[in-house]
Amino acid sequence: MKKYTSIKDVISLPILVEEAIALKKNPFAFEQLGKRKVLGMLFFNPSLRTRLSTQKAALNLGMDVIVMNISNDGWVLEFEDGAVMENNGAEHVKEAAQVISQYCDVLAIRAFAELKNREEDYAEKVISSFVKFATVPVISLESATGHPLQALADAITIKEFQQKERPKVVLSWAPHPRALPQAVANSFVEFIKNTYAELVVTHPKGYELNNEIMEGVPVEYDQNKAFADADFIYAKNWSSYTEYGKILSTDKNWIITNAKMQLTNSAKFMHCLPVRRNVVVADEVLDSENSIVIPQANNRTYAAQIVLKKILENA
């Protein structure tokens, strides 16, 4: 693997999932592979799971890790080609990416959508500039439009918990007081489409995701209907893609409650976390036996570890 910024970098998702599950059984089997190799992580946004699980994955492979909260501690970066840098930008990504590449063997970056301009966000300015100018492999830790390490962990979790060959997996929009990116939902759809599961997406009108990503995936606007016979409910809020970055609904009927879960086939409940309790999902669901959000978060380590392993092996 030469980089990991989207599903396009994955040759076979089912095989990658199997390999991650095997690695989870024997996490220190490759502790020599990363010896004297450095993972550099740059965060433009906050993180708990991504930062710690990716660091742990690197340590399991014998790597050293350096981390920088680049928004707080770094120079403001300029991304525009040919910019006359009289304003905020103090350093161009051209230099920054090349310099950082001399300090590390793999570079991982978190840079969320700004949710102001759809074209700019979907052009992936930040991560694609680092891919272009860095001289080492780049990993996405959530970019403007995707969160591929989360989606890989989600695919691993579904594989571990599924009780039938073709489980019904429902991605349900849920309310949230702040405008959130579509990244987690986009990657979840792109990845789960590449498994044997039956995927259905449910959301209020106006929350349609990008057409290309949704190609071949049914949308059911009635959440109750979508939940019928579901084996997995994956809750996530996202802001509107069509009316870009807007909150069009805060309808509390979309909160995931026990009554909603009763409509399913005793579905497992999933969420990428962090989650706002009793806003996105009721305590009764999150605290129930059917909630698998904690093992799901644990799988972030093995998702990151299989990706780092493939990058280190250039396989």
Q: How far is the CB of 51 from ligand CP (least distance, A)?
A: 6
For 43-78, b/e burial (b = at least 16 CB within 10 A) is: bbeebebbbebbbbbbbbbbbebeeebbeeebeebb
| Secondary element (H or E) of residue 101 | helix 93-103
For 108-131, b/e burial (b = at least 16 CB within 10 A) is: bbbbbbebeebeebbebbbbebbb
Rule CB under 6 A: choose which of 274, 277, 283, 287 binds ligand AN0.
Answer: 274
Rule CB under 6 A: choose which of 183, 189, 270, 303 binds ligand AN0.
Answer: 183
Q: How far apart are CA 254 and CA 288, in angstroms?
A: 19
227/238 with CB nearer ligand AN0: 238
Nearest to 194 by CA among 8, 14, 1: 14
Q: Does 184 bind ligand AN0 (CB under 6 A)?
A: yes
Interface map 213-252 toward ligand CP (x if CB under 6 A): ----------------------------------------
Interface map 33-62 toward ligand CP (x if CB under 6 A): --------------xxxx------------
104/184 with CB nearer ligand AN0: 184
Q: Does 181 bind ligand AN0 (CB under 6 A)?
A: yes
Q: Does 255 bind ligand CP (CB under 6 A)?
A: no
Q: How far is the CB of 181 from ligand AN0 (least distance, A)?
A: 4
Residues counted in the chain: 315
Residue 99, beta-bridge partner list: none
C-alpha triplet 32, 34, 36: angle, nearest 5°: 100
Question: How many other C-beta atoms can be found within 10 angstroms of the C-beta atom of residue 173?
Answer: 21
Rule CB under 6 A: choose which of 70, 96, 180, 200 binds ligand AN0.
Answer: 180
Q: How far apart are CA 185 and CA 136, in angstroms?
A: 28
Residues 268 to 307 in contact with ligand CP, rule: CB under 6 A: 272-274
Rule CB under 6 A: choose which of 60, 140, 143, 150 binds ligand CP.
Answer: 150
Contact 284, 278 (CB under 8 A): no
SS3 helix, strand, coil % of the chain, rounded to 5? Answer: 40, 15, 45
49/268 with CB nearer ligand AN0: 49
Q: Does 152 bind ligand AN0 (CB under 6 A)?
A: no
Contact 39, 65 (CB under 8 A): yes
Contact 176, 237 (CB under 8 A): yes
> Which region among 96-104, 159-167, 179-187, 215-223 touches ligand AN0 (by CB under 6 A)?
179-187
181 binds, among ligand AN0, ligand CP, none (CB under 5 to 8 A by kind): ligand AN0
48 binds, among ligand CP, ligand AN0, none (CB under 5 to 8 A by kind): ligand CP
For 190-218, b/e burial (b = at least 16 CB within 10 A) is: bbbbbbebbbbbbbbeebebbeebbeebe
Interface map 104-143 toward ligand CP (x if CB under 6 A): --------------------------------------x-
Task: Note the residues at the interface with ligand CP (CB under 6 A).
Answer: 47-50, 142, 150, 272-274
Task: Note the residues at the interface with ligand AN0 (CB under 6 A).
Answer: 142, 180-181, 183-184, 272, 274
